[in-house]
Amino acid sequence: MYLKNIQDNCYLNEELLQKVIKAYKYLMLLMYQYCDKMKEISLLWKQVYEKSIKYLDVHNTSQAYNIFSKVMSSLTGTEKEQTEIINIYIREYFRYIKNEYHSIHDMSDIVDCNKDIYNKYLDKLINTKENLYKEKDITK
């Protein structure tokens, strides 16, 4: 009964952690797309800034465009760092835990197999003893 509980627990944890890992993987994809979009916006602000310098817009307006570009570029870098932290420290941790449960599940399968072998030999021994007892031959 304990072995069955261990196997069920391992199987359910593996399955759930695999779903968590896939969800984080999808989240990483979205975060990378988000970073790419922010980088694109930063480049657009830079183009607007360069255009305003070229056509001699008001200095404050030009500087605002430059600041917008730098802010978006900075946010992009920060978001990429956060994405990498989530990927390395969270997703990889859950992958490690899932693999631990998989190892325990593999070991429980070995125990289950050995239990079956033991039971088979025990049944064979009991049958042999019963047959010998029926014959009432003590020498065997």
pLDDT tens digits for 16-75?
Answer: 988 998 998 898 899 999 999 999 999 999 999 989 888 887 888 888 999 999 999 999
Within a domain: residue 116? no
What's the CA dihedral at 32, 71, 42, 82 to 10 degrees?
A: -10
Q: Measured between alpha carbons, how far is 43 from 22 in angstroms, rounded to an integer?
A: 32
* 32 closest CA partner among 44, 20, 24, 42: 24
Within a domain: residue 35? yes
> How many structural domains does the chain have?
1
Residue corresponding to tokens 């255009």: 51
Within a domain: residue 123? no
Within a domain: residue 57? yes
Within a domain: residue 136? no
Tens of pLDDT along 125-138?
A: 999 888 888 877 66
Tens of pLDDT along 88-128?
A: 888 888 889 888 988 988 888 898 899 999 999 999 999 98
What pLDDT is stored for residue 61 in this prediction?
86
Please give the residue range of the domain that contains residue 26. Answer: 2-109
Within a domain: residue 90? yes
Complete DSSP assignment for 76-98: HHHHHHHHHHIIIIIIHHHHHHH
Within a domain: residue 125? no
Within a domain: residue 134? no
pTM of the full predicted structure?
A: 0.65
Q: What is the largest CA-CA distance in the chain?
A: 116
